[in-house]
Amino acid sequence: MKMLTNNDKITVSQTVALLITTMLATGILALPRNVANKAGSDGWLLVLFAGVLSFFSSMIVGALVKKFPRDTFIEYSQKVLGKIPGYFLGIILILYFLFISAMSVRVFSEVMNAFMLINTPRGFIIATMLITSAYIMRHGIEPIARAGEILLPVLVFPIFAMYLTALPRADFSELLPFLDTPAKTLAIGTVQNAYNFLGFEILLMVGPYMRSPERVMWALLFAMGFITLMYLFIVVIVFASIGVEDTRILLWPAMSIIRTIMAPGGVFERLDALALALWTIASFTTINGMYYAGTLAAAHLAGVGEFKFFVTIFLPWVYLISTIPGNPLDTMRWTQISGVAGLVIAVIIPAIVLAASTVRKKGGSAS
């Protein structure tokens, strides 16, 4: 099935921006707590190791993009594994993307309820974000990627600047003792936190929309490297500023630290308001990427030439899924469950398809 037009192709830089803005989400706000609980003062090492592990894992998806430059996962999984197994995996992929979209918008609503829109109904926040995302998604992949390219510097530079203002109060002795965590604990923690780097799996659907699929590995290297360094920077600043022990007990430590920072010269009276605006952008771009991938997968699986129908039809279902968790702690548990599912779908299943395609000599190479 071919649904590509001249306006559907995205450049390498747009692919990088799409990957970064999809991976960068409000999950980073809880990341310092997660790694602190796993490895204490060595928690920042989990971020580094998980980033490296995730890059090598993403190369499996990149290899599939290069091997099947004109097909999405829906097409080449059926070519390699057979129509029925491929169809079944396509359904799983759609459900995964929709579930991740739902959990992303739910985490966003929890953060907004906790720090700013305290009295605003959670359902209203979720519905507003989903409707806004649905509007831009109906215009296709190129506008989504272009929006990511425009919003990336708007998002990244202020985030770095905000956390840099915490440096004067940072005590880097909080990162000690170094390598005090058993190797087995570090290994388990690395795998458990690798889900924070998910997002690259959208290439399973977006791959054939790249103008230069042969350069997909460079796009993955740059995107994964950038996200790893950004996460590492934020975790180190949080550890050094509020301490590892306090980080363990805060639900959103990366956001809590912002509330204690005063911008130099009093430029902003409340940095947390600016931070929430930035995380709104981050959530918006993450939902765009995941939700679009899910609707695109549905269109390809159904064999229709238009995905916009699925953008609308999936909207109430994503909303309903997002309301399943009963409280913020439940939301965190559901997010971790979706992370485990993501590791299976983003790494294990593509690895099986890649291995099978090599054995059966299916597919070619992007030239």
Q: What is the secondary structure of 228-257 as a DSSP string?
A: HHHHHHHHHHHHHHH-HHHHHH-SSHHHHT
Q: Report CA-CA distances (Å) from 341 to 27, 78, 195, 224.
A: 16, 21, 9, 20
Sign of CA dihedral 83, 85, 86, 87: positive
In angstroms, rounded to a whole number, what is the distance separating the alpha carbons of residues 332 and 22?
Answer: 19
Sign of CA dihedral 264, 242, 38, 25: negative
In angstroms, rounded to a whole number, what is the distance separating the alpha carbons of residues 83 and 230?
Answer: 41
In angstroms, rounded to a whole number, what is the distance separating the alpha carbons of residues 100 and 108?
Answer: 12
> What integer pLDDT is reported at residue 5 of this predicted model?
44
Domains of the chain: 6-356 (1.20.1740.10)
| From 23-32, 46-55, 102-111, 340-349, the region with the lowest mean pLDDT | 23-32
pLDDT in tens, 167-221: 888 889 989 899 989 999 999 999 989 988 999 999 999 999 999 999 999 999 9
CA angle 317, 210, 10 (to 5 degrees): 80
pLDDT in tens, 233-269: 999 999 999 999 999 998 889 888 887 776 555 555 5
In angstroms, rounded to a whole number, what is the distance separating the alpha carbons of residues 223 and 20?
Answer: 5
